[in-house]
Amino acid sequence: MKAQMASPGFTHVYAALVAVINTKMPEIGELLLKRLIMQFRRAYKRNDKLVTIACCKFVAHLVNQHVCHEIIALQLLTLLLENPTDDSVEVAVDFIKECGAILTELSPAGMHGIFERFRGILHEGELDKRVQYIIEGLFAVRKSGWKDYPAVAPELDLVDLDDQITHELSLDDSHDLESGLNVFKFDAEYEENEKAYLDIKKEILGEEQGGEEGEEGEDDEEDTEEKKKEEVKEEQEKMEIQDKTDAQIIHLRRTIYLIIMSSLDFQECAHKLLKLEDLKGKEVELCNMLIECCSQERTYLKFYGLLAQRFCELDQIYQEKFDETFALHYATIHRFETNRLRNIAKMFGHILYTDALDWSVLSYIRLNEEDTTSSSRIFIKILFRELSELMGLAKLKERLEDPFMAEYFKDLFPRDHPKHTRFLLTSLPLLV
């Protein structure tokens, strides 16, 4: 349990080990499950999210390995969703992703009830937007048939279903944790018990009792084991370590944020950012951080527009990256609150006004009823109001009527269908 708590990413491996031991010594599997239940209950009462998530993950994989009965999983989900909060719903979603495939198979009626509760929580709309998106993602995972969340990996399917012993415990009952087993006690029959344990160990691990022949071949086995260890060491030395935790990117984002927050003006900030050695090849992270910091401000600060303008004018690559970020943020603009949306629109309005960014980015906007939402229309309105204030209506009209840019504005001012054109005409007063 301590090892699993320290590295939850290997929970499926620990659960597979417990499943193997449970077939030979079911008392250990039952005791582990009792202690997990009590640890979960204590963490849940203390609102300790990290411990709660770790316990839920272990229980989920024990359900997958048929060590734990599915009734505990359903009780746990019912408890988490009884009085839903942002944290409890997030824990429930993580839990059901781990064991949803096996629960769908073992208890389809129970799963139907749980997802109906999720649907009710989603319709109430009382939780944070982020949690609502997490619930929507869970429905998408269920629709895909738990494709990315299999119950048991093939290499960890070590026990036949007929050999497995499933423990039926309740989440509400008080369980004897047998704490006395944690304390050392003198064993007068140590040697006899140790021999008995070695026999059980060989049976679990599948080792053969070789007798005299096995004793004669021990030296050869030791030599082969040493050779294997040396080969493994050589392979590890040759192997390149790849960091997939994104630790470097997180460190870079933190550094960029601290520089932005500690700078007095945009010129000082740009000077400090250009000195970063880690920035080469990761220019998109700078663009994303500028937009993110700008969106988090209470009101739009011209500091961010001037900073983005300076980087676009310094290097062509920043224009390309801001082009990509514009497309990405416009595609996901419905996820932003109105204040964040306004700040982003004004920042891009400043970059376009100064011609630091090519106006071809407006080709990503398709102004029609099907391809826009209320959020995207607000974004377009604020963007064009900012441009009209900075440029003036005459210059803005002249720019939009530029024949060389007409190709990029054809979806912004659609003429392909009368329905789209009528929608445009009703929207034009909002743009200015």
Domain ranges of the chain: 2-156, 247-431
Q: Residue ranges of the alpha helices (H) in 83-189?
A: 86-106, 108-124, 129-143
The phi and psi torsions of 341 (rounded to 5 degrees) equal: -60, -40
pTM: 0.48
d(CA 108, CA 56): 20
Handedness of CA 369, 370, 372, 373 (dihedral sign): positive
- Contacts (Cβ under 8 Å, ≥6 apart) of 88: 80, 81
What mean pLDDT is reported for the chain?
84
Cβ–Cβ under 8 Å, residues 353 and 361? no
User: Tell me, what's the pLDDT at 116?
Assistant: 92
pLDDT at 296 over 50: yes
d(CA 244, CA 242): 6
Q: 215-237 burial, b if ≥16 CB within 10 A, otherwise e?
A: eeeeeeeeeeeeeeeeeeeeeee
- Name the DSSP letter for residue 406: T
The phi and psi torsions of 167 (rounded to 5 degrees) equal: -100, 130
Residue by residue, DSSP assigns 247-285 as: HHHHHHHHHHHHHHHH-SSHHHHHHHHHT-GGGTT-HHH
User: Tell me, what's the pLDDT at 212?
Assistant: 42
Higher-pLDDT residue of 354 and 426 is 354
pLDDT at 105 over 70: yes
Return the CATH fold of 247-431: 1.25.40
Architecture of domain 2-156: Alpha Horseshoe (1.25)
CB burial of residue 38 (10 Å; 0-12, 13-18, 19+): middle
- What is the per-residue pLDDT across 42-89, written as a single tens digit (0 to 9) for each? 999 998 889 999 999 999 999 999 899 889 999 999 999 988 899 999
Hey, do 2-156 and 247-431 end up sharing a CATH topology, with the first three levels equal?
yes
Whose structure tokens read 């007068």?
A: 188
Q: How many CA atoms lie within 13 A of 213 on its CB side?
A: 3
User: Tell me, what's the pLDDT at 282?
Assistant: 85
User: Tell me, what's the pLDDT at 349?
Assistant: 92
Nearest to 300 by CA among 271, 343, 253: 343
- What is the per-residue pLDDT across 226-271, written as a single tens digit (0 to 9) for each? 777 677 666 665 565 565 667 888 888 899 999 999 888 889 999 9
User: Tell me, what's the pLDDT at 207?
Assistant: 60
CB burial of residue 67 (10 Å; 0-12, 13-18, 19+): buried
